[in-house]
Amino acid sequence: MIYLNGHYCDAGFVIDGRDRGFLLGDGVFETVLLKEGRPVFLQDHLQRLKTACDALEIPYPQSENNQTLDFFEIIHQLSTLMKCDVGKASARITVSRGVSGRGLVFPPMDQANPTLMVVVNPFHSPPDYYKSMVSQYVRGRHALSSHYKTLNYLENIMAKNEATQNGCDEAIMLNEVGRIACGSTCNLFMVTKDNHLLTPSLEEGALPGITRKKILEIASTIGVDCMETEIEINRLTECDLFFTNSLIEIINHENVSNPVIDTLKQHYAKLVLDCGHDLNG
């Protein structure tokens, strides 16, 4: 079952073949962790979704009577229908610009009719550690797809599959000047030998991840010095590495054991637990 443009329907329900999301990758999305059917950091995800819609001139989805949609209720209903209200699951919110005439030029916002789809699926726990490799695919520092979660995801798709084909869990993507940007599906952090925390800045092509933001907030709260900065590739062998996104949360690089990372994990787990007590996620 999926939620599509105001209706709960079978997953095989047809999306219009003229939809720009399908034809051109013209849209944005969010992936939200669910724990016991409750979305984690939902308001953060919705704010990022709205920011992306505004930047790309896609109308933010509303109900048929132009009221604010209750995404919490939509996700809750789908979780129940899909029997995903126990343990961990994932919800994906996809917004495309919708149907328009042929060509690249899109209609004005007041004439656009966006397509909204919400899907909930079970999520199986990732491995304890990630094995990674440096990808040949480049993350553009100034590309819109680096700053927003767009449906134009080809470089990430190719990088992730490149990693899988080489027996790895994740691909580390460099930007066009050869510095570290992010993983194909995640942000990454490094702990230096003197226990400073480093992560690529957004200007380097890193996505403004929700978990990334939470880690930066936690580090500031507990007194761990953290820098959003330019990171050269040689730092990969000099620091302890870990990966973050909304579904995997925090995963160490292979063979990494670090007390700073352990502390961040503990604080993040508590933050997620506290979020679960909030009816609005």
CATH code of domain 129-276: 3.20.10.10
Identify the three-state secondary structure at position 249.
Answer: strand
CB 198 within 8 A of CB 162: no
Extents of the domains making up the chain: 2-122, 129-276
Q: What is the pLDDT of residue 277?
A: 54
HEC-encoded secondary structure of 98-129: EECCCCCCCCCHHHCECEEEEEEEECCCCCCE
CA pair distance 278, 114, nearest whole angstrom: 29
Give the list of residues 6+ apart from residue 94 with CB closer than 8 angstroms, or none: 21, 27, 28, 29, 115, 116, 117, 118, 119, 151
Query: What integer pLDDT is reported at residue 276 of this predicted model?
Result: 62
Q: Which residues of the chain have pLDDT under 70?
A: 276-281
Alpha carbons 26 and 151: distance in angstroms, whole number: 6
pLDDT reported for residue 234: 95
* Predicted local distance difference test score (pLDDT) of residue 280: 53
Write down the pLDDT at residue 128. Answer: 93
Q: How remote is the C-alpha of 186 from its chain's centroid?
A: 7
Cross-strand partners of 32: 91
Token pair of 94, please? 């996809």
* Tokens linked to 70: 């209750």
Query: What is the topology classification, in CATH, of domain 2-122?
Result: D-amino Acid Aminotransferase; Chain A, domain 1 (3.30.470)
In the prediction, which pLDDT does 214 show?
Answer: 98
Residues 40-98 have pLDDT tens digits of 999 999 999 999 999 999 999 987 777 789 999 999 999 999 999 899 999 999 999 99
Looking at residue 62, its pLDDT comes to 86
Residue in 81, 74, 8 with CA at minimum distance from that of residue 42: 74
Give the pTM: 0.94
Q: Give the tens place of pLDDT for each residue, 27-42.
A: 999 999 999 999 999 9
